[in-house]
Amino acid sequence: MSTTAVASDVVDGVDPDILDRSNAALATVGLDPLGLGTSASFEVHDPATEEVIARPADYTPDQALLALDRADRAGADWARKTPRHRSDVLHRAYDLIIEQRDRLAYVITREMGKPLAEAYGEVQYAADYVRWYAEEAVRPAGNYRESPRGGSTILTSRAPVGTALLITPWNFPMAMATRKIAPAIAVGCGAVVKPAALTPLTTLVVAEIFVQAGVPDDLVQVVTTSKASPLSTALLADPRVRKVSFTGSTGVGSTLLTLAAHNVVKSSMELGGNAPLLVFDDADLERAVEGALVAKLRNGGQSCVAANRILVQDGIADAFVEGFTERMSQVVMGNPLGDVQLGPVIDDRAVANFRGWVDDAVARGAELRAGGSAPDGPGHFFEATVLDRVPESAAIAQEEIFGPVASIARFATEDEGVARANSTPFGLASYVFTADVDRALDVADRLDAGMVGINHGIVSNVAAPFGGIKASGLGREGSSEGLEEYQEIRFYNVARRS
C-alpha cells in the first residue's frame, strides 16, 4: 500500500516538533484503499502552505463499481450479525479513535487547514458519533399493537436499507464521515464512501480504524476521486445502491436526488445554508457577542450552520457591533499548526469570493469595521472581517459566505427581524439571542429552520437530529432519527383467533 510524500521544510512560527509529528501522521495514510495499484492519482494540498502533501488514487467509475460489489457482499453478511456484535465493534472503534487522536488531528489540520485545537475538537465530535451509534445499535425500534377493527395484531420492525453511498464534504472531513458511516455500520449496511477531493486523507484513516476495530475489510469502501460526478452517476445507476447520503451544496444535492429517483433510492441531503443570527434589544450583550463569534468563526466560518447574516435590533446594535468588532480584531491568524485561532480557508477561489463580496458591500454603503483583505505570501488566508450596515442588495447578504467574514444588518421590530431572517430559500440553522424566554420560543417557532440555537452559538450535537428544511435538504443525521435513515420499516399483520 502506497504512502504519502511530505515536504520537510519548517514553516515559520510552527514548532518543528509539531511539524515533524504532522508529517509522520501524513506518512501513515494508505493512498490506494482498494488495493488496485492504480497509477492515476490527484494532488492534495496543505491550504496553509500550498504544498502537495499527498497523491491518493484517482479511481474511475468502473473501479467504484468494484468497490460497490465488495461492500454489497460484505453488507449481506454484516446484516446477519447481532446488534450486540455491531455495537461492540463500534465501541472498539471509539476507543481506537481516542487512542489515535493525535494522528487524526494532525491529518485534519494539514489537509483542511483548521487550527490544531479545533482539529482535536473535531476528532472528539466525530468519535462521539461512533459511540452514540454503538449505543443506538442495541436499541432496535419496533412496535406491537392491536388492529383497531380486531382480528389481527400489527407488528413493525426495522431492517437495514441496504448498501449506502456516502458522499462527504471537505470542511469537517472526519465528523461528516463518522456521522454517516457509524449508523450504517450500526444497523447492518455496507457502504461506499466518496470523500471530497480536497480532503480525502482523514477518511482513509477513519476507514482503517474501523477495520482495526473489527469491521470487515470490504464493508466500508473508500473511493477517492477527482471526478465526483461520473463516479456518483455510475453508482446511483446501480440497483444495489439503496441509500444515498450527501453533505454539500444545494445544486449538487438536487442533481443527486435526480439520479437517485431512477432507482427510488432512499436519500438524505444536508445542503446549503444561509443562517440568520438575531440579536434582540434585551439580549445579554456579552453573551450575544461571544455566541456570534463562535457561530461565525467556528471552523473559520466554513460551516453550513455558520452565522451568515447577523441581524441586530436597533437599540443594541451600536454596542453589539463595537463589542463584536473588538473581538474579531483580536483573532490571531496564521499557520494552523501554530498557536492561532484562524487558519487558512480552503482555496484561492474562496479568497477571491471574499474580496469580491467585501468590495461590493462597501460600494453599496456597508461600513468595513475590521479586516477585509488577504495577506501576501503562500496559503489561502483571509482576515477576520466585520461589515456593518450591509444592505440587502449586497451580494454577501444573499450568498452563503463560508468564511471569516461577518455581515451585519439592523432591524427595528421583531416582525421585521423574523421576516428578514426568513427571506431566503434556505432553512438549515438559525440563532436567537434574547433574555425573554417567551420571545425566544415564539421567534424560534416562526423561523424557517430545521435547527435553532437559543442564546447559544452552536447547534450541533450528536444526540440531536441535524438537518434542514426548504432548499437546505431533507432527512436527519445524529440522534435516533439518524439511525432510521439507514433502515426500512417492515410491517406484519398477524391474524388472531376470533
DSSP string of 437-479? HHHHHHHHHHS--SEEEES-S----TTS-B--EETTEES-BSH
Residue 194: per-residue pLDDT: 98
Which residues does 201 contact at the CB level (< 8 Å), separation at least 6? Answer: 4, 26, 29, 44, 53, 54, 56, 107, 110, 111, 173
Q: Hey, which residues are catalytic here?
A: 270, 304
Which residues does 230 contact at the CB level (< 8 Å), separation at least 6? Answer: 60, 61
Average pLDDT of span 253-271: 98
* Confidence band for 10, pLDDT divided at 50, 70 and 90: very low
Strand, helix or coil for residue 164: strand
Each residue's pLDDT tens digit, 358-412: 999 999 999 999 999 999 999 999 999 999 999 999 999 999 999 999 999 999 9
Name the amino acid, one letter, at 372. G
Q: How many helices (H) and strands (E) does the chain have?
A: 15, 20
9 vs 143, higher pLDDT: 143
Strand, helix or coil for residue 487: strand
**Which has the closest alpha carbon to 171: 295, 345, 27, 50?**
345
What's the whole-model pTM score? 0.95
Torsion of CA 485, 246, 202, 163, to 10 degrees: 50
State the cell numbers at 225: 476521486
Residue 1: per-residue pLDDT: 29
Q: Is the pLDDT of residue 8 over 80?
A: no
Residue 14: per-residue pLDDT: 87
Q: Is the pLDDT of residue 81 over 60?
A: yes
Q: Is the pLDDT of residue 4 over 70?
A: no
Separation between Cα atoms, residue 367 and residue 389, nearest integer Å? 6
Residue 226: per-residue pLDDT: 97
Residue 384: per-residue pLDDT: 98
DSSP letter, residue 121: H
Which residues does 280 contact at the CB level (< 8 Å), separation at least 6? Answer: 313, 316, 414, 417, 432, 433, 434, 436, 439
Would you say 214 and 86 are in contact if contact means Cβ atoms under 8 Å apart?
Answer: no
- Count Cβ atoms below 10 Å from residue 229 Cβ, excluding itself: 13
State the cell numbers at 463: 444526540
Residue 49: per-residue pLDDT: 96
